[in-house]
Structure 1
């Protein structure tokens, strides 16, 4: 069974592409896909593009055209939750769209037609991903690039929206607004909830892991590019390869 590995940016996936065995580049729906093997298991690597619509289109192509059995999203995110710091890793338990608002027809954040606000990730696949992340951040598996103290693996809610949250005020408003409704988001990004919704529609297991590149505040634009290029891509490779060895 083929596993799809999605990322939003080329820099987030560069190390994975470099380690792909028997690689074959294919073009479909205006996107590039890399088919090959990793840890002797079939995979398809793809760039979702930035934002929910681009991510949903790519996920649909992976399912309908490539026939993948599961989708894993890896990349970076901004930290929202207390104690979620740069260099930490968040394995998503569920996603919500923080910019979904069809009120008064539906409650704030509820997905019309789904009767739900949160989209759960696959429990088994997420557990395997958490184990791979813990190994990556352990003393034995830790990669060079972060030497400013211990980093943690978190598991919980991730918020997605078509906006790069890059100010402390916006991050605080987002965190507090969701928190008042009982949605304690650990991180914020721009694609995961869309992929989760597509996978729900097709009954395809989905899991996501995000390395925290910034605190979604006024330093986000400064931290982001450097972190993605120097740390996140290598961490993604280490964690994904650890996952593939357990499938």
Structure 2
């Protein structure tokens, strides 16, 4: 796995060497979740891989992520090929720092739909804060019989994305969020931290760490069993055009 992650970074650096002649887009930091630009990239983590695409057409932004999750379940078994497939599609509209989005994500056995809003506060030239609020619904193939967080349910999610954008175009960010599962009567608390480094005017390499907090089964929620904390580290490479 270490060799594959190193290869991913080398691929990004190699692409940067080929893209040195590409024109830079002025006044855009690619870590800004409300910025409109186009990109294609790859992301890799242990037992996970993803192809990332985005097309920006002015105030309208379209995103598509296709990937697989081959992580072992609680019984130590890996999913079948069809069950490992994951996707996320998003339409995003931005006007004067205010964005509205429709988000569809899932896989072979589940689908989640979110609709929400995000607003950009420019603290100073380098620091931006983006409060986020969404509502949605999640369904699973066996949702009527499943327990806990797999059960069909309405969802509510609140979070904040805070970014430091360097003058040279690099960025660092933190994105804590909490999702309330109505049927499960439980909050799923997560935080993502990461950043990107511009190795050429149109190429970046980066990382992100996703952490999901432990969830305890209690008399007040519908979790069948405790759900352990989980942390996943990703490496990324993107080309912008």
Report the TM-score when normalising by structure 1: 0.25
TM-score normalised by structure 2 residue count: 0.26
Q: Structure with the greater relative contact order (CA < 8 A, sep ≥ 6): 1 or 2? A: 1
State the structure with more CA Rg.
Answer: 2
Specify which structure has the higher proportion of helix: 1
